[in-house]
Structure 1
Amino acid sequence: MAVHLPASLLRRYRRFSLYNSPYPAHDRACAVDLYPDPVANEGRSPVAGTVIETRTVRCPDRPYAVNHDHLILLDVADGQVETDRRGPGTGDSDDLVARILHVDPRVEPGDEVVPGDSLGPMVRSGFFGPWVDNHVHLGFRRADQHLQRAGGSLPLSVDVSVDPLRWDGTGTVAEVGDTYALLDSPTHPAPCERFVGLGTDADESRRSVALDGGLAHYSGGGVLAGAEPLHHRDGDSVSFLGTPLGTCVAGEQSGDGTGHRHLDWADVAVVAETDTATHRATGISLFAAQDADFGAKLVFHRGHDLSAGDTVRVGIQPSDDPIRLG
């Protein structure tokens, strides 16, 4: 069984990502991270349903994170998402349970929620890096599956187009944190009207697609379809900023793979040049966004000395020593 997330669900959030995580569910596009308004910091429910259970779970010990995370299980109301019958499974296609992480629950078993209801405040979890904004992690299981175990969520697809933005690698640092630098480019051409992502180089048919994932600090990423279905096959290569970036591989994505495909990253390094120095970045954080604050986000997991206002030229280079965090 595979679960198809409708555009109406995804558009409630300013950003989403299928692949930007080191954990296996995201490697296989069996979970999506949804980014609500960061100022309010409310973990908004993506679906209607009934709370089955809330529990506290252990998470990796990180100095920037809380000591524990939380799992919320929702019995999903009929009609919230679409399913197909691909792969193994014996449950009713409407008999789904949503698994939600990174929200400190203010709901209890038996509570009814509708899309947009606050489930509680989002938490800084050790399951994600310090450069990652607070978000709601969402996956689905059949009701007859093990609901608490970390592995086993169903493959997802996103029924929304993500337009690729062409970018020459240049920009000005607009915002910095200890482990990231956000550039002011590329800019979103139509905020709140559609989703966009950093685009690959055009292929022989002059088509580009949007990238998703941690480039290349996580083991893999993905490409997301725009207005036209993906035509990529297993073994096809994509490039970015003039450098071969990765190869499409078979995965557990739902449908026929025309909505998104998994990428195995090539061994590459991300570098950021200023007028005075060359900085080795950990990577680039990739996602689909509809908010006006979109721009390339450089990750520096060990820190950096870039400052707001610095002019940066980003490049991708083949490397015998790629940084891999998971």
Structure 2
Amino acid sequence: MITTVTLNAAIDKTYYLPSFPLGKVSRVQRFRAAPGGKGINVAKVVAQLGVPVTATGFVGGFNGEMIKQLLDRMGIKHDFVSVEGESRVCLNILDEENGVSTELLEPGPIVGPEALAQMEDKIREHAAKSRIVCFSGSLPAGVPKDFYVKLVGIAKEAGAYVILDASGDALRLGLEAGPDMIKPNEEEVEGLLGIEVKDEAALQKAVETLLQTYGMERISVSLGGAGSMVASSDGCFRVETPKVDVVNTVGCGDSYVAGMAVSLANGLSFEEGLALASAAGTSNAMTDEAGLIEPETVERLRQQVQIAKV
């Protein structure tokens, strides 16, 4: 089983507008609401790829209840810690005229000490019966910056393979607990090492340095539409994804993490896992909702992913 952790869960709302002029009234003719937050997006894609998954994290108020109800409709198991206040709403406005996406992200509820202790217990419980635990996303107010250190440590002690997909202090401090895999972008790599990455040769050196410094199993650096660079004990690999008509990039990284988690849970080879993860991320880009893929499209795309050792 795979467990996903979303400490700042959300309702993702997407508004589709023919155009989005600033300073004017726009009437929304079509919109979509879905359970969201990075870890929940991972859970949705894992479920679509046919692997058992449980979503946990913090939820609060009426929005929190809606998140759980929407997951129920999708057939996704969940076991959240309830907190006071309201879970956030993340609004994505798609300007269909020019294809531009504008995101508005609420902060989320304030989490108290009792809820933090309950979350530690949840991770201990679910990690003990999971092959993979994915920690994804930002920390809500009240959560210490180093909370991922504690949670990653608990999951690893329980024997789970841990993927950490965070940014800023949450990622930098979380590395202290030794996650098995991280998925930063180029800017986050620069921030972790305090350097400037000018080209792919410099990026390769940087990810290899991170791998050795923190003793991780693999690091996957997103290069957007250009694919990714992945370093592991087997070497450094450049992954190129097929060109597609991009509809929406929100959730592509989460879909990639889901594909990687599924490949690990199913015992796929390293390169098979890279192909599956890349195909899942690319498939999500072809849809208009974060965490939405088409398994048939994923299967077709994974045959087109190019992987070369560098």
Shorter chain as denominator, the TM-score bin is under 0.3
More strand by percentage = 1
Q: TM-score if structure 1 supplies the norm length? A: 0.27
Whichever structure has more helix as a proportion of its residues is 2
Higher relative contact order, chain-length normalized (CA < 8 Å, sep 6+)? 1
What is the TM-score of this pair, normalised by structure 2?
0.28
